[in-house]
């Protein structure tokens, strides 16, 4: 952790000035910002700018939650018959209007009482883009000027909140580029934004998702003018000469290395005018021989001046990441009591199952964090960082290693199958480097903690977070042949470098259906259709037009199974990919022969964490496999995606589980008190709001993950 003391004191004077001005203008400020306070409205992604997923509403409570009924269901109308489309959107509600997105990224406004649509905007009518998930939209207003911001492909759109029409004075006819200020070499690369930005005054602060392969755009943080769409400030997460952190990379790394992006969203302390930015790993995710060093500001929680983008402090949660340990969600801004003192803090959950807790203003850890030696790599050219940070409190909310002691025991067949695999791979602790033999990553690439984030209850002073207990296997593959091997064809090398990580080196896809098999693709698509998919993307596959005509034609021949001559011009092609001598065999969950996770249950949990004491208050399974329960196996929980909300009614609401149920839990005990089978999996964080004295709970039912069916609806619940 590094902190600029001079900036810290400068910031304190600014806070005092802000406090004095707030006292003078309190009545007008209160009136202007009232609708942006969580209560009747759910005005911001995850409920508020502190990201605490909390509502003071209590009409629905432990005494009546079992009476909940469907109030309305809205179908977006997107065709879901082909492909595993999803809705991960946490909708916002402003003065009786709900704003959300469809599986195909249409934006809509509904009457939040009835679910009747007021307007809809389809970005596909004005631009081409490869489909990606979307987790929400942003609302801003100044008098009669009311806007909804959202992203589709590489564009940031501004719509009139009352009509859904693009605002022509924003950017170019209503859209601005997400590639602005990223540099010329990034303009042909994959850049989207899956998670809403955050509003500070007249700035919309944005992060992005970029490729996780060797050829990736940089993940700079930018603030856009909400009226014009112009970039007002940029924070470079891969520093240039003279900037803080430059020495943690090889010379001129900013010219060729990408990633270090913030795809998870932000938290904003409006009083201190600080925006808190969680970042992910540098690219390529699993090999860093071309980016030796700690790699600031990858894998960091960064506090920036929200007006200027100036760094105030940062903490790096993983040094020289080789495990895709992106910080997966926005942090929570909360208040804790330590040694009898109230401290404004920021809590960041991690894929590793850790919770990092800091003083919000200074960045000082509120519980000790220990740098521990970790196992070192044996891959040629790689240099693993010698230590990694481990918080001593609270304890991890998910498991930390897969060993013979915690191999699944639901049947002898399951146990023996997984035990046989573990005898041939590297496992048993955190931060084992990637290897040719295979390395168990547990918690897996999705966590542990994931993008659903954590809820915080200021009444109970408890953090609630759901967790996955899933192991994945990472196996590295050489891209450069040995002395006795024939060189790869251009098509084979292009496939291995760009496609194998998702579709597998054998082109059989993954074991959940997220990445389909490419075997027999020539029987399914014409050459023109295959070329169009490679160039422009399809569903959640990004377009690869930037790899060039020769490689596109070569990889088409390769995946169709055509004989391909060794292409002489392949050698000497100077591309970013040439710096990375390895790829991997895909994102492979470790399942038993029957499709259940490799470790002893529970496989998904909901956790209550006391951040005052640094203790886990309770832990319960989240989700169920009914066929296992019927066999007498205690409730196992399931893999889960999407976060919880917590209310003053004493309840935690969460979908997320693979069994497609929406549940309510008693927030004090973790007891499950209500559940409802959704039309498709609720892999999104729900929202709650109040209209005319009636409280509603709404969740997107998009399905499409973990092999479950897709859906296209939002379902709202209320008391009769």
- Of the pLDDT bands very low, low, confident and very high (cuts 50, 70, 90), residue 551 is confident
- What's the CA gap between 515 and 503, in Å, rounded? 6
pLDDT tens string 677-688:
999 999 999 999
DSSP 174-222: TEEETTTTS-GGGTTS-EE--S--EEETTEEEE--EE--SSS--B--EE
300-357 pLDDT per residue, tens: 999 999 999 999 999 999 999 999 999 999 999 999 999 999 999 999 999 999 999 9
Q: In the prediction, which pLDDT does 18 show?
A: 37
CA angle 289, 291, 296 (to 5 degrees): 140
Confidence of residue 479 (pLDDT cuts 50, 70, 90): confident
Cα–Cα dist 536/131, whole Å = 10
Contacts of 266 (CB under 8 A, 6+ apart): 197, 198, 205, 207, 275, 276, 277, 278, 330
Per-residue model confidence (pLDDT) at position 38: 62
pLDDT tens digit string along 447-474? 999 999 999 999 999 999 999 999 999 9
Q: Which CATH superfamily is domain 480-579 in?
A: Cytochrome c-like domain (1.10.760.10)
Q: Could you read off the pLDDT of 622-632 as tens digits, one per residue?
A: 999 999 999 99
Dig out the tokens for 60 from the structure.
Answer: 């629905």
Q: Which of 71-85, 347-361, 412-426, 548-562 has the lowest mean pLDDT?
A: 548-562
pLDDT of residue 572: 36
Listed range (70-74, 297-301, 507-511, 656-660) with the worst mean pLDDT: 507-511
Give tens-digit pLDDT for 359-407. Answer: 999 999 999 999 999 999 999 999 999 999 999 999 999 999 999 999 9
Contacts 24+ apart (CB under 8 A), 662-669: 662/686, 662/699, 662/715, 662/717, 663/622, 664/65, 664/68, 665/606, 665/620, 666/62, 667/457, 667/460, 667/462, 667/464, 667/608, 668/460, 669/618
Mean pLDDT throughout 701-718? 96
Which helix (H) or strand (E) is 421 found in, with range? helix 412-422
Distance, CA of 316 to chain centre: 18
What is the chain's mean pLDDT, rounded?
90
* Whole-structure pTM value: 0.89
Peptide bond before 361: cis, by omega within 30 degrees of 0? no
For residues 179 and 220, give the distance between their C-alpha atoms in angstroms, rounded to a whole number: 10
Q: In the predicted model, what is the mean pLDDT of residues 7-35?
A: 43
pLDDT of residue 564: 66
* pLDDT of 82 above 90: no
Cα distances from 149 to residues 68, 407, 450, 592, in angstroms, run 32, 46, 24, 44
Q: For residue 490, is pLDDT > 60? A: yes
Strands 300-305 and 311-316: antiparallel
Residue 532 pLDDT: 79
Is the model's pLDDT at 24 over the cut of 50? no
Instruction: Provide the pLDDT for residue 505.
Output: 73
- Enumerate the domain spans of the chain: 1-36+236-399, 39-127+455-463+605-720, 480-579
- Going by pLDDT thresholds of 50, 70 and 90, the confidence category of residue 34 is low
pLDDT attached to residue 178? 98
Query: For 408-419, what is the mean pLDDT?
Result: 97
Decide which of 482 and 270 is more confident.
270
Q: What is the pLDDT of residue 14?
A: 41
More confident residue, 351 or 516: 351
Question: What are the pLDDT digits (tens) for 265-286?
Answer: 999 999 999 999 999 999 999 9
pLDDT at 577 over 50: no
């Amino acid at each position: 952790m590094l902190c600029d003391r001079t900036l810290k004191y400068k910031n304190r004077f600014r806070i005092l000035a802000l406090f004095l001005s707030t006292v003078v203008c309190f009545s007008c400020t209160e009136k202007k910002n009232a609708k942006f306070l969580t209560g009747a409205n759910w005005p911001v992604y995850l409920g508020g700018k502190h990201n605490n997923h909390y509502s003071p509403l209590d009409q629905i409570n432990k005494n009546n939650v079992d009476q909940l009924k469907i109030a309305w269901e809205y179908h977006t109308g997107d065709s879901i018959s082909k492909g595993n489309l999803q809705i991960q959107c946490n909708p916002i509600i402003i003065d009786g209007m709900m704003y959300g997105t469809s599986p195909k990224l249409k934006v809509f406004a509904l009457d939040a009482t009835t679910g009747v649509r007021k307007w809809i905007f389809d970005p596909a009518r004005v631009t081409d883009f490869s489909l990606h998930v979307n987790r929400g939209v942003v609302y801003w207003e100044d008098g009669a000027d009311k806007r909804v911001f959202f992203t589709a492909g590489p564009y940031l759109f501004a719509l009139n909140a009352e009509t859904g029409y693009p605002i022509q004075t924003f950017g170019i006819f209503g859209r601005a580029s997400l590639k602005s200020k990223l540099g010329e070499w990034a303009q042909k690369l994959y850049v989207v934004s899956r998670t809403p930005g955050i509003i500070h005054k007249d700035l919309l602060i944005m992060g992005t998702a970029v490729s996780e392969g060797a050829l990736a755009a940089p993940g700079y943080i930018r603030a856009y003018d909400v009226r014009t769409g112009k970039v007002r400030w940029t924070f470079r997460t891969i520093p240039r000469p003279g900037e803080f952190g430059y020495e943690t990379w090889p010379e001129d790394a900013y010219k060729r290395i990408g990633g270090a992006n913030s795809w998870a969203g932000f938290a904003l302390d409006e009083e201190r005018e600080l925006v808190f930015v969680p970042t992910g790993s540098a690219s390529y995710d699993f090999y860093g021989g071309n980016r030796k060093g700690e790699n600031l500001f990858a894998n960091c929680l960064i506090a920036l001046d929200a007006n200027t983008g100036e760094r105030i402090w940062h903490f790096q949660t993983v040094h020289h990441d080789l495990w895709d340990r992106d910080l997966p969600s926005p942090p929570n801004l909360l208040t804790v009591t330590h040694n009898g003192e109230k401290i404004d803090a920021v809590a960041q959950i991690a894929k590793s199952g850790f919770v990092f807790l800091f003083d919000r203003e200074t960045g000082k850890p509120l519980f000790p964090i220990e740098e521990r030696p970790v196992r070192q790599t044996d891959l040629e050219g790689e240099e693993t960082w010698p230590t990694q940070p481990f918080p001593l409190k609270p304890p991890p909310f998910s498991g930390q290693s897969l060993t013979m002691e915690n191999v699944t025991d639901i049947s002898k067949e399951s146990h023996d199958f997984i035990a046989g695999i573990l005898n041939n791979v590297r496992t048993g602790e955190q931060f084992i480097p990637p290897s040719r033999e295979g390395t168990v990553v547990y918690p897996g690439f999705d966590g542990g903690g994931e993008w659903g984030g954590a809820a915080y209850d200021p009444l109970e002073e408890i953090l609630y977070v759901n967790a996955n207990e899933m192991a994945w296997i990472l196996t590295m593959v050489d891209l450069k042949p040995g002395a006795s091997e024939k060189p790869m064809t251009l098509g084979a090398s292009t496939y291995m470098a760009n496609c194998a990580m998702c579709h597998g080196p054998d082109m059989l896809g993954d074991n959940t259906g997220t990445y389909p098999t490419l075997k027999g693709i020539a029987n399914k698509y014409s050459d023109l259709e295959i070329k169009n998919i490679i160039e422009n993307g399809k569903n959640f596959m990004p377009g690869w037009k930037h790899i060039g005509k020769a490689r596109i034609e070569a990889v088409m021949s390769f995946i169709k199974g055509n004989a391909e001559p060794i292409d002489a011009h392949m050698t000497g092609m100077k591309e970013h990919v040439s710096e990375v001598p390895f790829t991997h065999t895909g994102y492979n969950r470790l399942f038993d022969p029957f499709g259940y996770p490799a470790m002893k249950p529970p496989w998904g949990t909901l956790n209550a964490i006391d951040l005052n004491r640094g203790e886990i208050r309770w832990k319960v399974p989240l989700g169920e496999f009914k066929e296992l329960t019927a066999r007498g196996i205690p409730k196992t929980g399931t893999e889960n995606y999407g976060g919880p909300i917590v209310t003053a009614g004493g309840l935690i609401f969460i979908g997320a589980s693979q069994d497609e149920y929406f549940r309510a839990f008693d927030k004090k005990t973790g007891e499950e008190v209500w559940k409802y089978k959704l039309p498709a999996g609720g892999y999104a964080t729900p929202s709650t709001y109040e209209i005319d004295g009636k409280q509603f709970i709404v969740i997107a039912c998009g399905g499409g993950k973990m092999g479950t069916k897709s859906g296209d609806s939002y379902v709202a619940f209320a008391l009769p």
